[in-house]
Amino acid sequence: MTEKTPILEVKNLWVKLPDEEDYILRGMDLTIYPGEVHALMGPNGSGKSTLAKVLAGHPGYEVVDGEILFKGENILEMEPDERARAGLFLAFQYPMEVPGVTIANFMRLAYQRRFDKEVKYGDFYKILLQHLKKLEMDASFAARPVNEGFSGGEKKRFEIVQLSLLEPQLAVLDETDSGLDIDALKVVSNGVNLMRSPERSFLVITHYQRILNYITPDYVHVMVEGRVVRSGDAELAQQLEEKGYDWIRGELAAANT
């Protein structure tokens, strides 16, 4: 039986802001295999969003030590667009507006770069409408500037439209549930679930258990002070919902005394 190769390996990752002494990620380790859904939870300031941005190649962070292997290749020397073309996707916690650039033009360019092929505008428009429909977004959104005038829920739905259209092998969802009402949360979660496959993996970053009621994770990790301190199954997320994070901090403090 052939052993699976991890789709993502984060090994002993130490990250800080330039010109700062304190580390945000402190020996972070995480391994994800194809087809798995991992949830990463933790209190504010634990480094969850920093990890997401470093995975995507954000230039505002300094990686001091460690490595990130995506499909076996160290991606730390790759530019953000190279990582995206390789199949790594980040859904932002706070999606940006891009005035003057329509969704249709924006996504056509991304689609062509991702799959390295030219697609006529008319042909792509039909593809885009199919993906908008999946996320219950009207066809009129195709002609609107990217995220301009969108509600919080519409921005998050459009993030999942991008995920659906670009078909990444690893999708990192950075607090996609924040600011969503229950109806929007169900639509977004359904979009993610439709994308689950044996070849595609997800890293769902969240504070709360509620999105995990709709996207059932294979593994749950708790992050505190820049590293994973506990891992388990979906039941661990329910424990965190009931007890909060203080019991984890208490156990860490007791172990260090």
Ordered per-residue pLDDT tens for the chain, 257 residues: 446 899 999 999 999 999 899 999 999 999 999 999 999 999 888 999 999 999 999 999 999 999 999 999 999 999 999 999 999 999 988 899 999 999 999 999 999 999 999 999 999 999 999 999 999 999 999 999 999 999 988 999 999 999 999 999 999 999 988 888 899 899 999 999 999 999 999 999 998 888 999 999 999 999 999 999 999 999 999 988 888 888 887 777 777 76
The whole-angstrom separation of Cα 39 and Cα 32 is 11
Please give the pLDDT value at position 179: 82
The whole-angstrom separation of Cα 236 and Cα 39 is 10
Task: Take residue 148 and report the two structure tokens written for it.
Answer: 């301009």
Please give the pLDDT value at position 3: 66
Closest CA to 168 of 105, 123, 96, 113: 113
User: Domain extents for the chain?
Assistant: 8-95+171-255
- 204-234 pLDDT tens trace: 999 888 899 999 999 999 999 999 999 999 9
The domain over range 8-95+171-255 is classified in CATH as 3.90.79.10: no
Task: Take residue 63 and report the two structure tokens written for it.
Answer: 């990686």
The whole-angstrom separation of Cα 34 and Cα 53 is 21
